[in-house]
Structure 1
Amino acid sequence: MLFQRYGPCLEPQSSLEENYQRTRPNNSLRSLVLNTRTIADAAGSGYVELGRTKVIAAVYGPRPPLRSSKGGVENAMKGRLTCEVVKSAYCSYSCESTRSQIGKGFSEEERLLSIRLVRAFEPILLLDKYPKCSIDIFVVLLEDDGSAFTAMTLATSLALADASIELVSIVASATVAISPKQEYLVDPDKTECEQAIALITVSLPLHATQLCEIYHIGKLSAEEWLSAVQLAVEVAQTVGNSMCQFLLQEMAKNEPSNQ
């Protein structure tokens, strides 16, 4: 089960030193770990470590949608995407168990993260290929050390690709923090996020000409905002290319060998 496998990730972490200093260049990412097929009973799953931020995502479907509270079943000719995000502090059950908890006990932050993921991926999924079906995504934030939504986006992309869901493109993401010293910090950790005067997260499809989402916290001038967005786009494209390379390698490993 999910939390039996990743239980150690949920142990409380020691706090960072008060005199915190970034130990990597401002334009440098933390270590990135990607994996798929981590949940056996899901149609597809993805696992991402971005530094000490750890996220696992699972995709179930396409399948008939769950019955509504009124007893009816959706009959739309276009598929439906749902997403539920939970943080490890609020859940001690497997990703499968999460399905029975929809709409129960989720925090406002979790609901917002769920909405943002749907907003980022709904235009990218070819939902007309799945009439009268539901594609359900469940994301667990195992550990949050900053840039959590970026990690969630990457894990969700991996899970959808692993489930062979038809997409316009892989979706990548990146976060940039603006420090009190007016430094642009790529892939900020938790301390850098807390100290930042502004945060910008960009999600984008690699093979399309438009962004999926821009999420902005804090006050910036138009020039500062544009510079941060441009930097986030460049970083997201780099991360997305790495993710595509990983998926191609996984496909090559799983192809039957030629006789």
Structure 2
Amino acid sequence: MDRRHVTGPERSVAPLPAGSMNEAVATTQAQTAMFFDTQRNRQDGRTIDAMRPIFLKTGLINQASGSAYFEQNNIRVACGVYGPRQNTQAQFNENARLDCGFKFATFACDKRRQFQRDPEERELSQILIQALTPAVRLGMYPKSTIDIYVTVIQSDGWWSTLAAAITCASVALVDAGIDVIDIVTASAVLVLPDGNVVDATQQEEQALSAQPPKCHGSLVVAQLPTHNEIAHVVQTGKMTPAQLTKAIDTCLGDSAKVHSVVSYYLREAVLATEPSVLA
């Protein structure tokens, strides 16, 4: 890297002519209102409280112990699980260790990603470990390591992509035959200036962050639906107790819907390979 010069931005923005700043703010506010008008559908055809359609497939990677492909409209995530394998370098441990690698494909986002993992991806890897650990029976695999590799093929909303990655990784663990107490399903919402919560796309997130009025924050909830317990929560921004309660309730409801879809696809996958199992 050339540190002797100040590198320019990867994107350039045309300067606004004099007197047009108020017009730009008004246009952005009008676009935001158009995105989240409760009286009509949004640009992707959904109502303000609707979820994106889900597609799921297991057995994507033949070389992996288990794998899954999760698609939620324009979000596409693939995950491969390897192990459990013996950990010969560490001292004896009664519980297994989860190693997660989270990576965006170079073409997954609007801004081109690097081949090497950046700090954001390392942070998301830790969030993935924290969300999955409560569901995995690590005591069944002493002195072992379970490797989870998540690749985001296409992203459409930062927090929604993280929620999809958590769900995809949990399904891949089930496909690998790892003992779990429940399937972790996750969902994400943004708290709008008017108090509503919505599953926002990338375009909607950018509209809310560009000009005021900005959203109050975002929330990602990973849930164990069968046990009705929360595995992990990630919150950004400032919310009132009422807004936070509404956002959590919405996330829990969406996670329950995702769990029903995931259960259906897993049942179909088992019937396709072993028809007599569920007969």
TM bucket (normalised to shorter chain) is: 0.7 to 0.9
Aligned to 1:64: 86
Counterpart check, 1:215 vs 2:231: no
Larger CA Rg, structure 1 vs 2: 2
Note the 1:38-77 alignment, pairs <5 A.
38-65=60-87, 72-77=89-94
Q: Unaligned stretches of 5+ in structure 1?
A: 1-17, 92-103
Structure 1 partner of 2:189: 176
Any idea what SS the aligned residue of 2:135 has? Answer: coil
Q: Report the CA distance between 1:248 and its aligned residue.
A: 1.2
CA distance change for structure 1 residues 223 and 64 in 2, over 3 Å: closer, same or farther? Answer: same
Task: Identify which of structures 1 and 2 has the higher relative contact order when contacts are C-alpha pairs closer than 8 Å and 6+ apart.
Answer: 1
Letter matched to residue 193 of structure 1: E
Alignment of 1:151-170 (within 5 A): 151-170=164-183
Pair 1:140-2:151 in alignment: yes
Q: Secondary structure at the match of 2:128?
A: helix
Distance 1:220-1:132 versus aligned 2 partners, 3 A rule: same
Using the TM superposition, give the Cα deviation of residue 73 of structure 1 relative to its aligned residue in structure 2, in angstroms.
Answer: 3.2
| RMSD of aligned Cα (Å) | 2.0
Distance in 1 (alpha carbons) for counterparts of 2:138 and 2:61: 24
Alignment match, 1:233: 252
Q: Secondary structure at the match of 2:153?
A: strand
CA deviation profile, 1:178-233 (whole Å, cap 9, x unmatched): 22333211x22112233133111110112224201111111110111111111110
Structure 1 residue 257 displacement after superposition: 5.2
Q: How far apart are the structure 2 equivalents of 1:60 and 1:42?
A: 5
- Counterparts of 1:110-125 in structure 2 under 5 Å? 110-125=121-136
Give matches, 1:197-216, under 5 Å. Answer: 197-216=216-235
Runs (4+) off by over 6 Å: none
The corresponding residue for 2:204 is 192
Q: What is the Cα deviation at residue 77 of structure 1? A: 2.1
Cα distance in 2 for residues equivalent to 1:184 and 1:123: 27
When residues 256 and 223 of structure 1 are mapped into structure 2, their CA distance, relative to the original with a 3 A threshold, is closer
Q: Percent identity?
A: 27
Among 106, 109, 112, the alignment partner of 1:89 is 106
